[in-house]
Amino acid sequence: MRFLEFLAALRHFPLSPKILVVGVLIGFGTLCFLGRKAAVTDKHEGFVRLTQWVAPETKYYPTVNELMSIVRSAIKPDQILVIVGGNSVTRGVGQPADKIWTKRLQTLLGDGYCVVNLAFNGSLPTDGGAVVAEALRFEFPRQIYIANAAPTQAPNPEGSLVYRFVFWDAWAKGLLVTDDADRNAMIKESHSNPAFGYLPGFEELRIRNFLDRWFYFQDYWNDITLTRFNTVWAPYFPGLSQFLRARNTFPDPEPDFLAMPIENRYIPAHLEAEMINVRGTSVYAYDPVKNTAGQWNVYQPVWDQFRARVKGVFPKALKKRTLILVSHNSPYYLNKLTPDERERNTLAYDLAVKEWESAGYASLQYGSDFHPTQDYGDRTHLTWKGGEKLAAIVATKIDSMARELGYLKAQSAPAARP
Amino acid sequence: MIFNTYWFVAFAAIVVPVYWLLQKPFLRIPFLGVACVIFHFQFAGPAGMMPVIALGLVTYLLALTRNPAACIFGIILSVAALCFYKYTHFIVVDLLGVFNPAWATAAQTSANKLLPGAPPLAMSFFAFEFVHYLFEIKRGGTPLKNPLHFLIFSLFFPSLVAGPIKRYGQFIPAMLEGATKIRADDLSEGFRRIAIGFFKKVVIADNLTLAIDHYVPQFGTLDLGVRWFVFSLIALRILMDFSGYSDIAIGLARLLGVKLPENFNWPYAALSIQEFWQRWHISLSSWIRDYVYIPLGGNRHGVVRKIINGLLAFGLCGLWHGPAWHFVIWGVYHGLGLAVCSNYSAIPKLGPWLSALLNRRPTICWISTQLFVWFGWLIFFYPLPEALRLARLLFNQ
Using an 8 Å Cβ cutoff, are A362 and A322 in contact?
yes
- Tell me the pLDDT tens digit for each residue of B260-270: 999 999 999 99
Residues forming beta bridges with residue A264, ordered by sequence position:
none
C-alpha span between B292 and B298 (Å, rounded): 9
Q: Within an 8 Å CB–CB cutoff, is residue B6 touching chain A?
A: yes
**Catalytic (active-site) positions of B:** 321
CB contact under 8 A, A207 and B10: yes
Q: Within an 8 Å CB–CB cutoff, is residue B192 touching chain A?
A: no
How many CB atoms are closer than 10 A to CB B180?
12
Distance from CA of B162 to the nearest CA of A (A): 21
CB contact under 8 A, B7 and A15: no
What's the CA dihedral at B177, B181, B187, B193 to 10 degrees? 0
Closest chain A residue by Cα to residue B208: A233
C-alpha span between A50 and A70 (Å, rounded): 10
- The larger pLDDT score, comparing residue A220 to residue B3, is at A220
- The larger pLDDT score, comparing residue A203 to residue B162, is at A203
Q: What is the pLDDT of residue B44?
A: 87
Point out the residue among A24, A204, A233 whose CB comes nearest to the CB of B210: A233
Point out the residue among B9, B207, B229 whose CB comes nearest to the CB of A233: B207
Chain-centroid distance, C-alpha A121: 7
**Which residues of A are less than 8 Å from B210 in CB distance?**
59, 232-235
Distances (CA, A) of B334 to B266, B320, B340: 18, 14, 10
Write the DSSP string, A247-264: GGGSPP----GGGS-HHH
Closest chain B residue by Cα to residue A23: B188
The helix or strand, by DSSP H or E, that contains position A323, with its residue range, turns out to be strand A322-327
- Tell me the pLDDT tens digit for each residue of A86-99: 999 999 999 999 99
- For A413, residues 6+ apart whose C-beta sits below 8 A from its C-beta are none
CB contact under 8 A, B10 and A211: yes
C-alpha span between A173 and A169 (Å, rounded): 6
- Tell me the pLDDT tens digit for each residue of B104-122: 788 888 877 777 777 788 8
Phi, psi torsion values for A312, nearest 5 degrees: -115, 5
Q: What is the pLDDT of residue A218?
A: 95
pLDDT(B1) > 80: no
* A362-376, B125-139, B348-362, B369-383: least confidently modelled range: B348-362
The one-letter amino acid at A386: G
Closest chain A residue by Cα to residue B2: A204
Average pLDDT, chain B: 91
Write the DSSP string, A111-147: TTEEEEE---TT--TTSTHHHHHHHTTTTS-SEEEEE
Q: Within an 8 Å CB–CB cutoff, is residue B145 touching chain A?
A: no
How many CB atoms are closer than 10 A to CB B361?
11
Q: What is the pLDDT of residue A409?
A: 67
Closest chain B residue by Cα to residue A241: B211
Q: What is the pLDDT of residue B98?
A: 79
> What pTM was estimated for this model as a whole?
0.86
Measured at the alpha carbon of residue B99, what is the angle toward residues B293 and B308, in degrees to the nearest 5?
A: 20
Point out the residue among A15, A231, A243 whose CB comes nearest to the CB of B184: A15
C-alpha span between B65 and B68 (Å, rounded): 9
- Omega before A17 cis (within 30°)? no
CB contact under 8 A, B184 and A20: yes
C-alpha span between B145 and B148 (Å, rounded): 9
**Which residues of A are less than 8 Å from B208 in CB distance?**
233
Using an 8 Å Cβ cutoff, are B205 and B244 in contact?
yes
Q: Indicate left, alpha or beta for A415 from its phi (over 0: left) and psi (-120 to 50: alpha).
A: beta
Phi, psi torsion values for A113, nearest 5 degrees: -125, 155
Q: What is the pLDDT of residue B193?
A: 93
Residues forming beta bridges with residue A365, ordered by sequence position:
A326
C-alpha span between A349 and A149 (Å, rounded): 10
Best of B2, B187, B212 to mutate (most A CBs within 10 Å, chain A): B187
Write the DSSP string, A141-208: -SEEEEEEE-TT----TT--TTTHHHHHHHHHTT-S----HHHHHHHHHHHH-GGG--STTHHHHHHH
Using DSSP's 3-state secondary structure scheme, residue A83 falls into: strand
pLDDT(B355) > 90: no
Best of A15, A59, A240 to mutate (most B CBs within 10 Å, chain B): A240
Buried b (16+ CB within 10 A) or exposed e, B315-348: bbbbbbbbbebbbbbbbbbbbbbbbebbeeeeee
Q: How many residues does chain A have?
A: 418
Give me the residues of chain A with pLDDT under 50, please: 411-418
Shortest CA distance to A216 belongs to which of A24, A32, A70? A32
CB contact under 8 A, A16 and B184: yes
C-alpha span between A146 and A157 (Å, rounded): 16
Q: What is the pLDDT of residue B367?
A: 94
Best of B194, B207, B256 to mutate (most A CBs within 10 Å, chain A): B207
Phi, psi torsion values for A162, nearest 5 degrees: -70, -40
Shortest CA distance to B187 belongs to which of B20, B356, B395? B20
C-alpha span between A360 and A354 (Å, rounded): 10
Pure H helices in B256-301: 273-279, 282-288
C-alpha span between B16 and B72 (Å, rounded): 37
> Longest C-alpha distance within chain A, in Å?
96
Sheet with A143-149, edge to edge strand ranges: A113-117, A80-84, A143-149, A322-327, A362-366
Point out the residue among B187, B206, B208 whose CB comes nearest to the CB of A17: B187
Q: What is the pLDDT of residue A52?
A: 94
Q: What is the pLDDT of residue B112?
A: 79
**A143-149 and A362-366 strand pairing:** unpaired
Closest chain A residue by Cα to residue B4: A204
- For B356, residues 6+ apart whose C-beta sits below 8 A from its C-beta are none
Closest chain B residue by Cα to residue A12: B185
Distance from CA of B182 to the nearest CA of A (A): 9
Distance from CA of B6 to the nearest CA of A (A): 6
Q: Within an 8 Å CB–CB cutoff, is residue B217 touching chain A?
A: no
Residues forming beta bridges with residue A326, ordered by sequence position:
A149, A365
Tell me the residues of A at the B interface, defined by beta carbons under 8 Å apart: 14-17, 19-21, 24, 59, 203-204, 207-208, 211, 231-235, 240, 243
Q: What is the pLDDT of residue B71?
A: 95
The helix or strand, by DSSP H or E, that contains position B22, with its residue range, turns out to be helix B6-22
